[in-house]
Structure 1
Amino acid sequence: MSTQEIVLFINGPAGKLEALYCEQPDAKGIALICHPHPLYAGTMQNKVVATLQRTARDNQWSTLRFNFRGVGKSEGTYGEGVGETADAKAALEWLQAKNPNQPIIIMGFSFGSCVAACLAGQLEQQGTPIKQLIMIAPPVERFDIKGKLPTSCPLLVIQPEADEVVTPQIVYDWSNHLTIEHTLLTVPECSHFFHGRLTELKDLVAPYLQ
């Protein structure tokens, strides 16, 4: 099993996108991971994003995490969520080109979870199946994803119960009103950034990568 990520740059709609890629020789499929809000210090180096990457890697998925436009060495400026979804699509297209006809998992944390959801919805409309969508602490109170979610792929939502950034009850209410099949897992006494709870997060996500 490979554990090494390599730095590379992908052609995105607003310029080059900085990325980290880990290729597995006998991969189950490909996993794209989207990071938190670019205007609030979100990057692909975020520890929750890194945990998601390691979890996918350890479960034999080739992974790609990347910086949205304007973050790190990625070119461009903040795109109000729409631009970031286009960035994610470009990143996934690169990943698919490297790994054709592989099952796809899309994961995201905070802002990145809503970007991941929008991308998954777009792909489904285009006829591209998604094996699993994973949303960690989705800020549904601030990022409108109504009507943008995929309707047929499995959805996992993980919400910390002591989240200081995203209002947990709003996520619970949103989950209760979803008409698509999904799983909601809550993490008691856990903050938005999973301080001291990253191992638990990995254990929660791993079964959905089998």
Structure 2
Amino acid sequence: MPEVIFNGPAGRIEGRFQPSKERNAPIALILHPHPQFGGTMNNAIAYQLFYMFKERGFAVLRFNFRGVGRSQGAFDHGAGELSDAASALDWVQTVHPDARACWVAGFSFGAWIGMQLLMRRPEIEGFISVAPPANLHDFSFLAPCPSSGLIIHGDADKVAPTKDVQTLVDKLKSQKGITIEQQIMTGANHFFENRVDELIDYCGDYVDRRMAMSEV
């Protein structure tokens, strides 16, 4: 799994990239949780999402937001991190220009950034938002949400409580032209302790179903 360094708006960005053998393979971008609470690209959920997409033949990139690991810059409360994500997507598209599809997957803070990226990048056709912190960050920019995706969270999540995520899901489900799938994992907390494998199985199943539909 090659280490990569590419230029972002605040300097160099450190990442890990898994290319695909197929020229037109889909691409996926993985976004890690909050940098100020220990979030890195090696977070267990970000790492497992990376491998889930890799196993399905995607070209996949995960990277450290500014100020994390060897990525330059300093935490920017979301605005700079969104620019980092856009630069990361640009880089993957340069390396893999013939991709037939583009996905973004994020956990917690990364889910918030990922859903903002959806609004900027019409080529993103699928998303996975793991435990989106709808109580901590404003998601009203999803007006309307341009892509179908999966929102998956636990009902024992004290960081991003179910009622706040449910409000977000209900709002998105009312929009026409997209399909939002929701999966609530009973007993799972924000970090999906002892449940990460189950979480990734749900996500993989969702990607499989979406990709099968796109090939019909």
Q: Secondary structure at the match of 1:88?
A: helix
How far 1:58 sits from its partner (Å)? 1.0
Alpha-carbon spacing, 1:202–1:149, altered in 2? closer, same or farther (3 Å): farther
Q: Is the 8 A contact 1:120 1:149 kept in 2?
A: no
How far 1:207 sits from its partner (Å)? 2.2
Which residue in 1 is equivalent to 2:212?
Answer: none
Structure-to-structure mapping, 1:32-181, within 5 angstroms? 32-102=29-99, 103-124=101-122, 129-148=123-142, 151-178=145-172, 179-180=174-175, 181=179
In 2, the alpha carbon distance for the partners of 1:116 and 1:183 equals: 16
In 1, the alpha carbon distance for the partners of 2:144 and 2:82 equals: 14
RMSD, matched Cα: 1.4
Give structure 1 regions of 4+ aligned residues with deviation exceeding 4 angstroms.
Answer: none
Aligned-partner residue type, residue 166 of structure 1: A
Aligned-partner residue type, residue 170 of structure 1: D
Segments of structure 1 that go 5 or more residues without pairing to the other structure are none
Which residue in 2 is equivalent to 1:20?
Answer: 16
In 2, the alpha carbon distance for the partners of 1:80 and 1:57 equals: 30
Segments of structure 2 that go 5 or more residues without pairing to the other structure are 209-216
Q: Secondary structure at the match of 2:121?
A: helix
Which residue in 1 is equivalent to 2:211?
Answer: none
Q: Secondary structure at the match of 2:62?
A: strand
Work out the number of aligned pairs and report it: 202
Q: Secondary structure at the match of 2:17?
A: strand
User: What do residues 174-205 of structure 1 show as CA deviations (whole Å, max 9, x unaligned)?
Assistant: 21122333111110111111111111111101
User: What do residues 49-84 of structure 1 show as CA deviations (whole Å, max 9, x unaligned)?
Assistant: 011111111111111000000001100001110100
TM-score (norm: length of structure 2):
0.89
Aligned-partner residue type, residue 136 of structure 2: R
In 1, the alpha carbon distance for the partners of 2:45 and 2:144 equals: 23
- Pick the aligned partner of 1:187 from 176, 182, 185: 185
Q: Is the 8 A contact 2:25 2:98 kept in 1?
A: no
Q: Percent identity between the aligned chains?
A: 34
Q: Secondary structure at the match of 2:116?
A: helix
Q: Which moved more, 1:23-32 or 1:35-44?
A: 23-32
Q: Which moved more, 1:43-52 or 1:195-204?
A: 195-204
TM-score (norm: length of structure 1):
0.92
Q: Is the 8 A contact 1:122 1:150 kept in 2?
A: no
In 1, the alpha carbon distance for the partners of 2:143 and 2:34 equals: 19
Aligned-partner residue type, residue 21 of structure 1: F
- Pick the aligned partner of 1:7 from 3, 7, 21: 3
In 2, the alpha carbon distance for the partners of 1:81 and 1:148 equals: 16
Q: Is the 8 A contact 2:13 2:63 kept in 1?
A: yes
